[in-house]
Amino acid sequence: CACHFINLSLRIITYEGNAKKNKPASPVFPAWKKLLKIVSKLHVAPLLMEELRTLVSESAKVQKRPVPAMPSHFVATRWLSTFNTGRTCLVVRGSLDRLVSRHGRDYDLEQLSTTEWTIIEGTCKLIEPFASLSTYLEGEKYITASSMLAEFGIACFEAFILKGGKVKDFFN
């Protein structure tokens, strides 16, 4: 399926490498690893997540904007969930930076550098079209290619039956 192909292809971007097989890590992997460690910690440390919510809410209030979504938990085998995590983290970047600067030592977390944030942002921009395409191809509320083919096949078969055709005529 096309979505599976996209999934496998884009996982290469955040590939962690394999020393045994002499396959180096993707150059963007260290930045993502650092960010995903922060997000993982948020989802197992309720006080940390609550403080992030407070920081994000305060920031949104000052900027007179709606409160954005919190970073979603990612599934390591799904590139789209990693993309969504990165995208939500970029929106709350300032609050995440403040949180890590306050509690990084307590939770064994490292601050992302400006360069690492740029890598996260660039990766998300690169992946965005594939995310849109993948979401479209997985659609449940609108026609996708596979459902169109099924509908076409049913329509052809119904037309064949209504015309009283023979099996050999159906394939001609």
CA-to-CA distance for 14 and 133, rounded, in angstroms? 19
**pLDDT tens readout for residues 92-146:** 999 999 999 999 999 999 999 999 999 999 988 888 887 777 777 666 665 555 5
Percent of the chain with pLDDT over 90: 42
Q: How confident is the model at residue 37 (pLDDT cuts 50, 70, 90)?
A: very high
Arithmetic mean of pLDDT, 57-79? 86
Q: Are 84 and 72 in contact (CB under 8 A)?
A: yes
For residue 2, the model assigns a pLDDT of: 59
Closest C-alpha to 27, from 46, 10, 13:
13
Q: Are 101 and 112 in contact (CB under 8 A)?
A: no
Judge whether residue 167 has pLDDT over 50. Answer: no
Signed CA dihedral, 102, 106, 107, 110: sign only: positive
CA-to-CA distance for 83 and 89, rounded, in angstroms? 10
For residue 170, the model assigns a pLDDT of: 43
Judge whether residue 79 has pLDDT over 90. Answer: no
**pLDDT tens readout for residues 1-23:** 556 666 666 666 666 667 677 77
